[in-house]
Amino acid sequence: RIAYVNGRYVAHADAAVHIEDRGYQLGDGIYEVCEIAHGQVVDMTRHLDRLERSLRELSMRAPMSRKALSVVLREVINRNRVRDGMVYLQVTRGVAPRDHAFPSDSVQPALVVTAKRMDRAAGSRRADTGVKVITVPDNRWDRVDIKTTGLLPNVMAKQKAKEAGAYEAWFVDAKGEVTEGASTNAWIVTKDGMLVTRAAEHGILRGVTRTTVLDVAKQLGLKVEERGFSVEEAKAAREAFLTSATSLVTPIVAIDGTTVANGHPGSVALSLRQAFFDVAEKTPA
Ligand code: PLP
């Protein structure tokens, strides 16, 4: 495997950053994960838009132009011969003697890009059976709209899910409403067929998959409401599912041990998953 690290393509096994990289020391970095389907980056424009927004919100310089970045992504994908999988890109504020405040302007942001193959069959099997989620209090900071590498609450939540035999942990805010998963957005379908997901302005990351699924849902003529929902509403819903660039649309069949509907993946989730394949994965980025 090959990785891109600060201007060089190197063997993945030897790829390294300096011990004073601010991402390593301070979590002073941002990232993107994009799906690769049929050799193409899915929703590349939306991912690069979000990357630029994250940079802007943290007053971080871009490591290179958008065009150059897309060339590096392409190169890493090609060198690893990935047809189906994911590409990871991370920008940190660079290498400088440890100090919380920003380093001088001469410090170059650091860029790392990796790509790996993923088994589409494993995703399909998960979609066929559905997954379980648990809930945990949302103890994150109030800028979760920025995709930063500072992911400790997400790490702790995901580990708790794993130990409980669940696929994902849903964060729950002080009002008892689900915000999002540790690495996914959260959705339900109500008893009267309304597709519900929390508004992106309130305490969640605006998932690229979320945005695309909203588009697809509207194309399918589904009724959509962007609002919060409680854990109780989700447990009583007709369907629940999650979205992300690597999980795509994955049905949820249990929440904190309570079976959702009849315990099988819902038809809306499955048709959105299929529509995502038909639309997003076939549109050149
Ligand atoms: N929410 C959080 C906290 C995430 O980390 C992610 C992705 O990693 C998502 C939502 C889903 O975003 P996307 O669809 O862009 O992968």
Pick from 64, 90, 118: which residue ends a domain?
118
Pick from 91, 118, 145: which residue ends a domain?
118
Show Cβ contacts of residue 74 under 8 Å, excluding neighbours closer than 6 positions: none
Give the atom of ligand 1 at the shortest distance from the alpha carbon of 246: 16
Residue 141 confidence (pLDDT): 97
Assess whether 227 and 274 both reside in one domain: yes
Is the pLDDT at 51 greater than 80? The verdict is yes
Amino acid at 202: H
Which 3 state secondary structure label does DSSP give 281? coil
Per the CB < 8 A criterion, the answer to whether 209 and 248 are in contact is: yes
Q: How far apart are CA 166 and CA 217, in angstroms?
A: 27
Whole-model pTM: value is 0.97
Residue 144 CA from chain centroid, whole number? 12
Amino acid at 146: I
Assess whether 6 and 114 both reside in one domain: yes
- Predicted ipTM of the assembly: 0.99
Give the atom of ligand 1 at the shortest distance from the alpha carbon of 43: 15
Which CATH number is 78's domain given? 3.30.470.10
Assess whether 94 and 234 both reside in one domain: no
The answer to whether position 285 is within a domain reads no
Handedness of CA 207, 208, 214, 216 (dihedral sign): negative
- Residues whose beta carbon lies within 6 Å of some atom of ligand 1: 33, 180, 183-185, 205, 207-210, 243-245
The protein residue with its alpha carbon nearest to ligand 1, atom 5, reads: 183
Kindly give the distance from the C-alpha atom of residue 190 to the centroid of ligand 1, in angstroms, as a whole number.
Answer: 23
Give the atom of ligand 1 at the shortest distance from the alpha carbon of 209: 14
Residue 283 confidence (pLDDT): 63
The answer to whether position 222 is within a domain reads yes
Query: Tens of pLDDT along 135-183?
Result: 999 999 999 999 999 999 999 999 999 999 999 999 999 999 999 999 9
Query: Tens of pLDDT along 214-263?
Result: 999 999 999 999 999 999 999 999 999 999 999 999 999 999 999 999 99
- β-strands 248-255, 258-259 pairing: antiparallel
Kindly give the distance from the C-alpha atom of residue 200 to the centroid of ligand 1, in angstroms, as a whole number.
Answer: 12
Smallest CA-to-CA distance from 89 within 143, 37, 43, 147 is with 147
Domain that holds residue 223: 123-279
Kindly give the distance from the C-alpha atom of residue 150 to the centroid of ligand 1, in angstroms, as a whole number.
Answer: 14
Task: Choose which residue among 33, 53, 143, 205 to substitute to test ligand 1 binding: the one with the highest number of ligand atoms within 8 A of its C-beta.
Answer: 205
Assess whether 113 and 135 both reside in one domain: no
Q: How far apart are CA 148 and CA 178, in angstroms?
A: 21
What number is the average pLDDT over the span 39-60? Answer: 97
CA count, 13 A, side-chain hemisphere, 114 = 11
Assess whether 177 and 131 both reside in one domain: yes
The answer to whether position 262 is within a domain reads yes
Tell me which residue has tokens 């819903």. 237
Query: Tens of pLDDT along 65-106?
Result: 999 999 999 999 999 999 999 999 999 999 999 999 999 999
Give the CA angle between residues 97, 99, 105 to the nearest 5°.
Answer: 70
Residue 249 confidence (pLDDT): 98
Residue 229 confidence (pLDDT): 98
Show Cβ contacts of residue 65 under 8 Å, excluding neighbours closer than 6 positions: none
Total number of domains constituting the chain:
2
The protein residue with its alpha carbon nearest to ligand 1, atom 12, reads: 207
Smallest CA-to-CA distance from 255 within 275, 276, 274, 229 is with 229
Give the atom of ligand 1 at the shortest distance from the alpha carbon of 185: 10
Catalytic residues: 147
Which tokens go with 24? 């390593």
The answer to whether position 91 is within a domain reads yes
pLDDT band per the 50, 70, 90 thresholds, residue 284: low
What number is the average pLDDT over the span 197-223? Answer: 97
Which tokens go with 230? 């409680």
Assess whether 97 and 188 both reside in one domain: no
The DSSP annotation for 152-210 comes to HHHHHHHHHHHHTT-SEEEEE-TTSBEEEESSSEEEEE-TT--EEE--TTSSS---HHH
